[in-house]
Chain A
Amino acid sequence: AQSVTQLGSHVSVSEGALVLLRCNYSSSVPPYLFWYVQYPNQGLQLLLKYTTGATLVKGINGFEAEFKKSETSFHLTKPSAHMSDAAEYFCAVSGTNSGGSNYKLTFGKGTLLTVNP
């Protein structure tokens, strides 16, 4: 079984400030981890993913996330927020191919990011 906890349903930062969105996961098998972004009235778009290999993953729009197995975390960061980053962000986990259930993405409840001028 897998689960995702996103700490903070709403995060507000000033333009130019550091963005930190927290995600902790639970998985009984080695996880694949994802961050998706959702802009108003749109579907989810993939920001970045971790499957294997390097634990620091870089994504689009200057975002990156680090997989920390010991902390079961996959926090999303961006050094300097831009107004266009305002959106809802979802962390998600799926299993690896073990058991053939790697299609099951379990999403967190989302974190709404507000960027103030």
Chain B
Amino acid sequence: DAGVIQSPRHEVTEMGQEVTLRCKPISGHNSLFWYRQTMMRGLELLIYFNNNVPIDDSGMPEDRFSAKMPNASFSTLKIQPSEPRDSAVYFCASSHKPLLGAGERSPLHFGNGTRLTVT
């Protein structure tokens, strides 16, 4: 089990540039989450996908942020244009939720995060 894989580990970019963060969830997991971690706000859920479909994007800060999940093994989080206040650690996490009934979701498995610095 390779775990959740995120790339890059670190990203430094200038204000106004486009940033793309990537995530490969654990094989077999049907739910994917993007979180942002900052000192001020802690861990915030940005968006949640289930079976590759965005279910809840209410945590996405503004239109500069977008996320896609073209298939079950890949997701991207894009910021365009980036701003200094976007500097944070971005985590991707995955889990498995039974498709039928009220079965219990498996715990979230987190990647090691992408540390984004926007200057």
In the complex, the answer to whether A34 meets B107 with C-beta atoms within 8 Å is yes
B4 contacts which of A36, A41, A43, A110 (Cβ < 8 Å)? A43
Q: In the complex, which residues of chain B have a beta carbon less than 8 angstroms from the beta carbon of A51?
A: 104
Instruction: Give B97's nearest chain A residue, CB to CB.
Output: A103
Distance in Å from the Cβ of B10 to the closest Cβ of chain A?
10
Instruction: Say how far B75's CB is from chain A's closest CB, in angstroms.
Output: 15
Whether the Cβ atoms of B105 and A102 lie closer than 8 Å is yes
B100 at the interface (CB under 8 A from A): no
**Distance between Cα atoms of A104 and B97 in the complex (Å):** 13
Once A42-B112, A103-B33 are accepted as A-B contacts, the answer to whether A97 and B91 lie under 8 Å apart by CB is no
Give the interface of B toward A (CB within 8 A).
Answer: 4, 31, 33, 42-43, 45, 48, 50, 55-56, 91, 93, 95, 97, 102, 104-105, 107-113
